[in-house]
Structures are given as structure tokens and as C-alpha cells.
Structure 1
Amino acid sequence: MSAIAPDTLALQCLYRWEREAASRVALTQPMGGGELKDFTWAEVADQVRRMAAHLKSQGWPEGSKVAILSKNCAWWLMSDLAIWMAGYVSVPLYPTLAAETVQQILTHSEARACFIGKLDGWEGMKPGVPAGLPCISYALSPDDARKSYEGWDAIVARTAPLQGQVLRDAKELATLIYTSGTTGHPKGVMHSFGNFAWALTAALGRFPMSASDRLLSYLPLAHVVERVLVEHGWLRTGMHVFFAESLDTFNADVCRARPTIFFSVPRLWVKFQQGVLAKMPEQKLERLLRLPLIGGLVRKKLRKALGLDQCRIAAGGAAPMPVALLNWFRHIGLPVNEGYGMTENLAISNITKPGVDMTGTVGPAYDGVQLRIDPANGELLMRSPAVMLGYYKEPAMTAEVLDQEGWLHTGDKASIDAQGLVRITGRVKDLFKTSKGKYVAPAPIEDRLTMHHAVEACAVTGANLGQPVGIVMLSPDAAQRTGTEADRQQLMAQLTQHLDDINARLDPHEQLDCLILVKTPWTVDNGFITPTFKVRRNRIDEVFGPKLEAWVEERRKIIFGD
């Protein structure tokens, strides 16, 4: 690893703000009922020191694992810092996991304890927590958790703060990030303190951030992007982080924070767009935007309604961003920079440059990131000091993706043009072959399908069929409008036109035979999507695969599957 400046490591950053900005607000936490709780840097550091002292007093060996199972909140970040200050390794869990997965991760990581925090589905997850595992609750934890486990506030109140500066070396293991994964069991990605420090330095080289910036934390902190951008961006720059309260209050949360930096996954950017178009038809909006003076006022009003009127850096990632969606947001004056990365490289690989139209690509590599294309299969390979140490307890799996020269095999097919701009063209393993012997890359077709307001999520499949088919989960609004035959006919006409438009731009072997509409929500709980809204293709094939031939035999373009 290249030399890492000690003052860029996570704990050293905390000590800096404790010393230099003690009275400045660091975190703003909604407590329910409109109440907000601010934490200054002095308060953050004090609570972290006290919890670290408590954890250290348990006498576990250095490097022991301590888990965090919670939605985003101030205590999540303080727990992570306390775990590190005590000399341990943090293991964050997504707050939407099934009990079986909770148990698998806690057991596999050999977690010594677990913070049980703000959760919506605790009753379903609780059976996954091994009996006898020490747990600590937060002020916002479910009632049952607060009754069952000692609370954060009580521990902090009775524990003297750890003194001095505990320093962790850049090479030390900081965390295990268990990948949500679109197939198979999650793997524990090992990252060091130096990995995070280097990643932040690279990110700041492309997007300068400072203490005057504001962020809203709402995507799971267990996910790599939120972990790097929010947690480590906060620690490095001293910016102000706000937390979202709930889905119901999300728009108010954004408007309260008025973030200057905002990251979202494509599915949520689509929801933002659909929310706007539900209030104003697209044709009317387009007419207004074309008017010289009125257009500017409308753009400003739209951005303010979204809570993003102060946003100077907007970004998307975790899945491909449809070009039409990027163009729409640029048209309303909110250009979205598309990034590319993965848990295994701390999401630091590529991102488009601000102020430059690189639509259709994920931009050039960050400074210090090396890229090349494997001539054998077109796979994108990358290496940098942010690449993982490996998969925890899985040397064979590590060797499959990390070669002896340090190249990470991403699993994504890509091309690199003369300007160094990267286009992701699909997954190496997502390609499937129709019965005609032709390979189909589903991702680009899915990007086009999602650009209809009735489409909430979709998957293109059809291995061994004559032509591929599209399975579409209807948006809640569209699903509600299928109650009468007239509504169904109207929706079928709209989607038939959408399908025809898409097929007209595809090669013959890629053209979709039909769209199969399903109302059943694709959720994390039923296994159809990951916590970051990526569709699990194996689950799609498992549930719908046996029905595909019968549906295709109906010889209709639009089929209501359930």
C-alpha cells in the first residue's frame, strides 16, 4: 500500500475535530414527533470514549469482532468509532436482513457483541441473534430491545471516558463489510483503516468537500457507498450529517437538511422523477422548461420541492443509471454524476467529472486507480490501494477475484475509450443464451424498460427460450390502476408502445417476446432484491422460470402474470 498520512485515518480525524471544533454540531438526529437532537464534536468524542472504555473492559482479544444491526442514526456512527477505539473490528449488518442471514453473519464473523439499534422489523430478526450474545440498545431501539438489553445511555453515564489517543495502524483490519450479493451467501469483505483513508483522498481529488457541506444519511450505512461518503467523508472533512427519520418523512428530512452533497441509487432517482411527473404531466413540464424566463423559475422550484436546491454534487451508483434519467435531471438543472465501484474496492473506481457531459459512461478512473480489460472475456479489471484485503475466512473465493498481481476481477464487462471513459456493458455471468444460440446482455435492455412510469423494477431473462422476455414489477400507482378492464387495456396499450419502441432499437436476437406484469412487490424480505435495490436474478429465475414457457405460448405482447 502507498504511504498513508496518519492524520487521514479515521480515529485521528475524530481527535482533530474534538480538539479544533468541539462546540460545532456534527450530527443531527430526529427523535420522533418533530424533536431533533444535535451532537457536537465534543459530545460525539465523549460518548465514543465512554463506550470504547466499556467495550475494552470486556477483555476480548484485540481484533475481536463487534456487530452493528441498526438503521442509520447518530449512535451507529458512534458505535463504529467506539469499536475501533477499543481495538476491535466492526461488522455492520443491513437493517432489513432475514433472521437466517443475521445468524449466519454473526456466527461467521465470530461477533463478541452486537449493537441493536433503530429497526422496523426487529421481531423477525431477533431469532437470528445467537442466545447469550451480549447486546446493547439505543434510545431509538424497538421497545423489546430496550427492555432486553442494557442501553447506550446507561452505559455511557456510568463509564469513565477512555483517555488519550488510541491510534490504529493503516494496515490494521477495520471492518468486515458483508456484501448483499445478488447470488449466494454474503461474503465478509475485509478493509483496513488505510483502505478507507486512501479512498477518501481519491474521492476528494474528484469532488472537493469541506466542513461547510451537509449530507443526509439515509441509504444503509452497512453499504459501502454510505460508509465511505457519509461516515468517512464526515470524519475527514468535519461536515454536518443529518439523518432521515423514516420513509414517510423522507421528503421533509431532505428539505430540512438541504444537502449540498446527495447520493442516491437509480431506483430512488426514478422515484424522484415519477413524483414530479405525477404532479405535472411530462408534456406540460417540457413546455414550461422551454420558456426562457419561466423555465428557470420552474427548474428552481422543482429542485426546492425535492429539497435539493442547495445541492452542488449529486451522484448515483450501485446499479446502472439509465441515460434518459440522467438527461432528465440535467434538464431540470440537477446534473447527476454517475459512479462505479463495488464493496471490494470501497466504491472507488470511476465517476464522471462534474461539469462535463459524460452521459452513457461512468467516467474516468479516480487518480491512482489502474484499469484494464481482460482480452479473454472483456471483463474490467482494476487495482488500487482501496482494494480489499480479501474475503474473511475465504481464501479460495478471494483467489477467484483477486489475482497475484493485485488485479480485482470485477465481474463486469466494459469498454474503455480513447479518453479513458468506461462504459459498463453488462455482467460477465449475467449473459444468457437463448435457444437460438445467441447471447443476450440483460442490463442495457432493463435500463430502457425502467424508463416507463408504470415500471417499478424489471428483469430480462429467457435462457433457452426462443427470445428473451421482460418480467416487470408494476409501480404501486400502476398496480392500483388495473382494477377495471378499461384501466388494464389502457396500461397494456402504453406498455405495448413502450415495448415496440425498445425492440426497434435492439438487434433481432435481443428483442423481447413479451412483457410479463407482476404485482407482487419485490422486497428484501422475500428475496427478490438486495438492500440496495439490485434485483436478485437467481430468485427471479427460481420463482418465474418454470412459468415462462406457458406465458410465451399465450402469444401476447403484454401478459398479466399474477
Structure 2
Amino acid sequence: MQTFNSPLEAFLYWEEHTPDRVFLNQPINGKVITYTFFQAGEESRKIASSLKALSLPEQSHIALLSKNCAHWIIADLAIMMCGYVSIPIYPTLNAEAINQILIHSESKAIIIGKLDDYKSQKKGIQNIPKISIGLYGVEDGELWEDILLKEKRLEQVHIKKPNDLHTIIYTSGTTGMPKGVMHSVSNFMKSANTGIDIFKIPNHCKCFSYLPLAHVAERIVTGTCGVVVGAEFYFPESLETFASDLENCQPYLFFAVPRIWSKFQEKILSSVPQKKLTFLLKIPIVNSIIKNKLKKKLGLKQAQVILSGAAPLSESIIHWYKTLGITILQAYGMTEDCIISHSNLHEANKIGTVGKAIKGVRIKFSSIGEICIKNDCLMSGYYKLPEVTASVFDHEGYFKTGDIGEYDHDGFLTITGRVKDQFKTDKGKYISPAPIELALSKNTDIEQICIVGTGIPQPIALITLSELGRKKNKADLSAGLIETVHQLNPSLEKHEKIEKIIIMKEDWNVDNGLTTPTLKVKRNAIEKIHQEFYKSWFEDSDKVIFE
């Protein structure tokens, strides 16, 4: 395998050796614009020239605000070509959050790409040069298209040294202000090369990039690995076209978070009810026809590596997909460890765990069972937060993950909760909500779950409904939820048993601030809104309460 010292070095290699190969496929208004390696190189060099013309100091920070698209990749390459540091920003953040990151990161300019509602975000960007992309309907500052017409290409690109700062990734923040995680060029390359090696990712495979590239997992698993192997990138045009865009791509590797797997399952079950599906899968010849048809429809017919991460995925969902011939490998990593931690592999896969430690990873547990990790690509620290940085490393240089876990006798790791998520009921007993939430999630009527219980004798489950759940009448829905709790409670300790289920009126999403951009539930935000009602809900005679 060809080895490179930076993502830019990898791109320059493919640009030189395969200039006419298609690199990026960008759907827009039902058509697809393609960019070869040569074309992407030309555009990135011209954008780099425009950035250089701003006469910014070396290693300046350049923000990138956009949904995943061809221009995100080209803009990232342009920032690298200048020797600058990229500051990716989640495209769903509001103006205030964008402004916080721009100020904290000391960004000197911003590239604005594909967005759903730039009008409401615009006021968060003040007093720095802007480059915007007219193709996506954003015209603010200098137009990308105008730069391509007037600028000469940057002839001398900057090749960073391995220890130079490559990017600052702001965590999606389940609690408080996001922190800027600093990663070097070598961190990204070590992480990407490890992924390519363990998942055997071939050159020029197809990638489907849809989870935010502002998140470390997508940035490395798809973005960086994809550039290193000279992959062909595909992007979804919109939420409405997502399914057909993925089906059209049929990627080699597919990475998703638990909410996506639940949504896919819902979609299948809404067209083929479970009883009918179970019956069809029992018929030998029909079985393979159904599996192939569903895999093709999902866009996973050619997928050799199918990963789930960012949050725990319930065993029942993994087993359900297995009946369709789809093997989901759970993995575990963080922004701070550049996602090199643990993963299940085809040759070593244990459902319910996040796999064994990846080669080169060292792990130890604190006295309370907190996972502490060391690898060759740990962050250099949180930007401008030396005291916080010092607090998350122990005296041996291990990073304290904040996750609680345990190994089984075969060396597979199970995450049992978050240190900060633990709470006490008024009986004074600690509860870790994550395993209980995971067990409840096997009920397909449930979309999201937050187990709470501060100040009441027993925990209660706050939930939002899936599309399947919303279609049911209250009596059937309640009966199904009560049955799930009855099945679960005997396996729990006395102080952990679920007393009530509260069905929320509204979904938890990024817009209302109740999930992160990677769809993790923000427990603190949910508790802040609902804690005053816990006592009255607990004392209500109904087992299922509709808020």
C-alpha cells in the first residue's frame, strides 16, 4: 500500500497518477456534478490562492461551515494547501453557537457551503472574510465561482510536517460549551492508516459521506481514509433523496449512528411487517431474494464493512439486521483519541460489545471503572484550555474517557455508562442509565430514551416515539410499552426498576437543543426542562403518561 505523511500528500499523489478518475460526485437539483482529481485540484488551488491573498499569518485558523458536499472536501484541501488549520463547524448550529466557536478558535476567515438555513446563521459570522458557494444559494462575501474565474492557481502548495497542527475539532457537546480538540497531521494519518489496515479498505473504493464532516469519526473514516485510498465520494442531496442517493452509491464501507439503524429498520417494517418478513425469510429461495433486494434498497449490497458508533446500539437491532444478512460491527472511539480505541472486526465480533482494543491501544481502568486510554494519536490538548487538558490526563499520560466499562474474559469491551450520567434516586443509590436505555430501545415504538430519577424513589423513562409508535392508538402503544418494562425489570436491581414511562410531546432534536449534531441525547438539557415534573409524574396512577 502506498504510504503518505499527510492527507494533502495523498491527494497530490492521486491527482498526479489518476487525474481523470472521478473523485467527487455532487448531486444538485436531481443532477450530478462530477469532479475528477485534476478538477478538484484546480479548484482547491484557486481557493487556496484567494486565501493566501488575505495575507494571513502562518498556521492561521480557517473555519468551514457546510453540510457534506464536494466543496467541503475541496475547501479542506485548499486550507491544507495554504498550511492553515481547519476549524470545521457543524452545519446545524445556530448563530450564537457559530459565533462562540469563531471567536474561541480565533478563525481568520470562513468558507460557507451547503446549508439549510444560512439566513438564520448569518448573524453569527462577524468581521472576518467570507467565501461562499453560489451553487448552494449562499452569496455572502466573495463568491467561490468568482474566485475560480479570476484567481490563478497556487503553484507552491504547503506540505505540513507530521507534528504540525492539522485541525481543531469542536466536540458536539452533550454538556456545556464545546471544547476545541487539537490534532496534528500525524494523528490523522495514524488513525486513517489504522482504519484502512484493520478494515482492509481498497484503493478507489466508493464512499458515501453524510454524517457531519465536522465530527471526528466521519472526518477520518470517510474523509481522510477516502482521500488516502483515492476513493470516489458520493453525497446525499437532501433528506428526501438520501435513500436513493445511498442506493445509487452502494459504498464499500458504511458508517452510521444508532438512530440511523433504527430509521432504516422502521422504513423496512413499514413496508414489510415483521410477521410477514419472518415468514418470507424462512422460505429457502425467497430468503436470499428478499435479503438481496433489501440490501440493495438500503445501499448495502456491496458494503464489506458496516460500522456503528457514537453511541451504543442495542443487541436486538444488531441481531435483527443479521437476519437480513447485514453484519454491523460496533466500534468505540472519541474525538480526543482520534477514534483509535476499540472495534469489532469480522474475524472477532461479539454482539453487545464494542470489540477488542485496536493494535497499539493501551487501556487501564480507574478505581471507579472509568476507561483510560493511551494510543499514538491522542490529542495534544483542548485549545486555550490548559487546565481542562491537564484534568483529563492522569499522571501516566492516559486519557480519562469519562466512560465506564469492563472487559469480558475474551478481551471484548462493554461500555456500561458515563461517569457524569450516573444519578441518585432519593433512596441514595446510584444508577447508570445507559444499559437500561439500551435494553428499552429494543421496543421499535421508541425513538429516543432518557432514564431519569433525581429526587424520586425509582427511575422513570422519558421517551419520544418512532414513526411506528406514532401510528398506534394510545391503548396498544401503552400495552406494548408496559410489556417491555415488565420483561426488563426482573433483570434489574431493585433500585433500578423502571416505574413509569413518560411520552414526550415533542421530539428531541438539534433545533430545540436536546440532541447533539450526532444525534446523542443531551441529558442535562432534557433534565433542566423536565425535572420539576418528576414528582408529579411518579405519583400519577398511570404507568404510561402522555405529556
Give the TM-score normalised by structure 1.
Answer: 0.95
Q: In structure 2, list runs of 5 or more residues that go unmatched.
A: none
Deviation of 1:412 after TM superposition, in Å, equals 0.3
Q: For residue 128 of structure 2, what is the amino acid of its counterpart?
A: L
Asked if the contact 2:27/2:237 (under 8 Å) is kept, the reply is: yes
Q: Is 1:19 matched up with 2:16?
A: yes
Query: Alpha-carbon deviations, 1:238-269, whole Å to 9, x = none?
Result: 01110111111011111111112100000100
Which residue of structure 1 aligns with residue 392 of structure 2? 401
Matched, 1:422 2:413: yes
Shift of 1:406: 2.2
Q: Deviations over 1:139-194 (max 9, x none)?
A: 3333xx31x32211211221111114421001000111000111000000001100
One-letter identity of the residue aligned with 1:391: Y
CA distance in 2, matches of 1:503, 1:534: 25
What does 1:151-170 correspond to in 2, within 5 Å?
Answer: 151-170=143-162
Q: In structure 2, what is the equivalent of residue 462 of structure 1?
A: 453
1:120 pairs with 2:116: yes
- 1:90 counterpart (68, 71, 86): 86
One-letter amino acid of the structure 2 residue matched with residue 459 of structure 1: C
Task: Assess if the C-alpha contact under 8 Å between 1:8 and 1:236 holds in 2.
Answer: no
Which of 509, 525, 528 lines up with 1:542 in the alignment?
528
Query: Following superposition of structure 1 onto structure 2, how do residues 106-505 of structure 1 map, counting pairs within 5 Å?
Result: 106-130=102-126, 132-142=127-137, 145-146=138-139, 148-374=140-366, 376-479=367-470, 481=472, 487-505=473-491
The one-letter code sitting in structure 1 at the alignment partner of 2:108 is R
Whether the 8 Å contact between 1:411 and 1:428 is mirrored in structure 2 is yes
**From 484, 495, 509, the counterpart of 1:509:** 495
Instruction: Tell me how far apart the structure 1 counterparts of residues 338 and 456 of structure 2 sit (CA, whole Å).
Output: 38
Q: 2-side partners of 1:171 and 1:156: how far apart?
A: 32
Distance 2:507 2:500 in 1: 20
Matched residues in 2 for 1:200 and 1:354: separation? Answer: 19
Change (3 A) 1:503 1:231: same
Per-residue deviation, 1:304: 1.3
After superposing the two structures, state which structure 1 stretch, 410-419 or 34-43, moved more.
410-419
How far apart, CA to CA, are the structure 2 residues paired with 1:276 and 1:477?
Answer: 11
Q: Post-superposition shift, 1:51? A: 1.2
Whether the 8 Å CA contact 1:474–1:519 is kept in 2: the answer is no
The two structures, once aligned, show a CA RMSD in angstroms of 1.4
Query: Distance between the aligned counterparts of 2:468 and 2:276, measured in 1?
Result: 20
1:41-80 map, 5 Å = 41-80=37-76
SS of aligned partner of 2:368: coil
Matching of residue 553 in structure 1 with residue 539 in structure 2: yes
**Higher mean C-alpha deviation, range 259-268 or range 160-169:** 160-169
Quickly say closer, same or farther: Cα 1:355–1:301, change in 2 above 3 A: farther
Q: 1:207 to 1:6 in 2, by over 3 A?
A: closer
Structure 1 residue 59 displacement after superposition = 0.9
Contact (CA 8 Å) 2:236, 2:242: kept in 1 or not?
Answer: yes
The offset of 1:215, in angstroms, is 1.1
Once residues 87 and 251 of structure 1 are traced to their aligned partners in structure 2, the CA distance between those partners, rounded to angstroms, is 37
User: Tell me, which stretches of 5 or more residues in structure 1 are unaligned?
Assistant: 482-486
Matches of 1:471 and 1:405 in 2, distance apart?
40
**Residue type of the partner of 2:5?**
T
Query: Which amino acid counterpart does residue 502 of structure 1 have in structure 2?
Result: L
**Structure 1 residue 211: Cα displacement:** 2.2
Task: Calculate percent identity across the aligned residue pairs.
Answer: 40
Give me the whole-angstrom Cα distance separating, in 1, the residues matched to 2:326 and 2:152: 48
For the Cα contact (< 8 Å) 1:210–1:238, is it kept in 2?
A: no
CA deviation after TM superposition for structure 1 residue 419, in Å: 2.7
Give the corresponding residue for 1:484: none
Q: Distance in 2 between matches of 1:400 and 1:534?
A: 24
Report how many aligned residue pairs link the two structures. Answer: 546
Q: Which moved more, 1:354-363 or 1:59-68?
A: 354-363
**Counterpart amino acid of residue 327 in structure 1:** H
| In 1, Cα distance between equivalents of 2:474 and 2:497 | 24
Report the more deviating stretch, 527-536 or 79-88.
79-88
CA distance in 2, matches of 1:140, 1:454: 40
